[in-house]
Amino acid sequence: MTHRHVSEELAGRYAAGSVPEADARSVEKHAEACGGCAARFSSAVRAARPGAGPVLDAVRAQVLAAVVAEGVAAEGAAVRGGAPAVRAWRLLWAAGPALRSAWLSALVLTAVGALVLAYGAGAGQVVRPLLLVAAPVLPLAGVALSYGRHADPMHEITAATPSGGLRLLLTRAAAVLAVSVSALTLVGAALPRSAGGPGAAVWLLPGLAMTLAALALGSYVGCRAGATSVAVAWAATVLGPALATSPSAAAGAVRYFAGPAAQAGWAAGALACAALLAVRRRSFDHLERM
């Protein structure tokens, strides 16, 4: 149905609310890219519900005013012009509310602080394992800030669109992971490496598995609560003891994800969480609206 134009009869049934939910989502998705069908929907709704016109006009005016006030319109204009690298960064910036929050500053401070301690204070042999142990949990804070009423002032509107729900959450989580993986892996590679120590990318599978676990758990309790629960569990079992005891404890904690067996376990966990997330994908259509 997304590849065919909407008939007057279907638009009328949609306006009357008699179209099944699956078909309604399909035609809504089509109308996002088809101005003619969108206009047909609008006319049908106005005809079926005469009082809806002024309400829709008022909502549209308020949304546009809010968007302009936050500078999103200016960002969109900049995205359409400029160098490809600038456009890519602005698209990434627009895709993730977490990138516009204090989380990005905290990530940068963590990366810079690790380099300063390693080379300025000569603590490279201690900082490297600490960074590797902390890296898997750092993206979770960004994921927690990526979806829901607490993260997006326009959440009620975006969640109601065909592109809302899990698709929007995954897009924003991918933006968080893109920034986290790039920054933390580069910093990890720049830190002094002890003989036989793990590589800078050893945390990637654990980080992916924990992010998917947070999203899967979030399908039951909400994105913020799911990410917080996974982060607290990791901090209590691995990160906390590594920070509270001797420096050698951090190096010992790397065993949780260093080595083929540990990496295979994290890969299996990531696949299991991804499967659960696929089964629970519809829960995000209504979870954050309650």
Q: Using one digit for the tens of pLDDT, what is the confidence trace for 121-162?
A: 565 566 777 777 888 888 888 888 777 666 666 666 666 666
The pLDDT tens digits for 55-100 are: 777 877 887 777 666 655 445 544 444 555 555 555 555 556 666 6
pLDDT at 270 over 70: yes
In what helix (H) or strand (E) does residue 74 lie, and over which residues does it extend?
Answer: helix 72-80
- If one compares 274 and 105, the residue with the highest pLDDT of the two is 274
Cβ contacts of 231 within 8 Å, gap of 6 or more: 137, 140, 141, 144, 214
Average pLDDT on 105-125 reads 74
Average pLDDT of every residue of the chain: 75
- If one compares 194 and 43, the residue with the highest pLDDT of the two is 43
Q: What is the pLDDT of residue 198?
A: 63
**Residue whose tokens read 């319109």:** 73
DSSP string of 169-204, one letter each residue: HHHHHHHHHHHHHHHHHHHHHHS---TTPPPTTTTH
Average pLDDT on 210-234 reads 88
CA-to-CA distance for 44 and 56, rounded, in angstroms? Answer: 13
Q: What is the pLDDT of residue 163?
A: 63
Alpha carbon distances (Å) from 256 to 150, 242, 266:
33, 12, 9
- If one compares 229 and 240, the residue with the highest pLDDT of the two is 229
Average pLDDT on 228-233 reads 90
Cβ contacts of 49 within 8 Å, gap of 6 or more: 15
Q: Contact, 75 vs 90, CB < 8 A?
A: yes
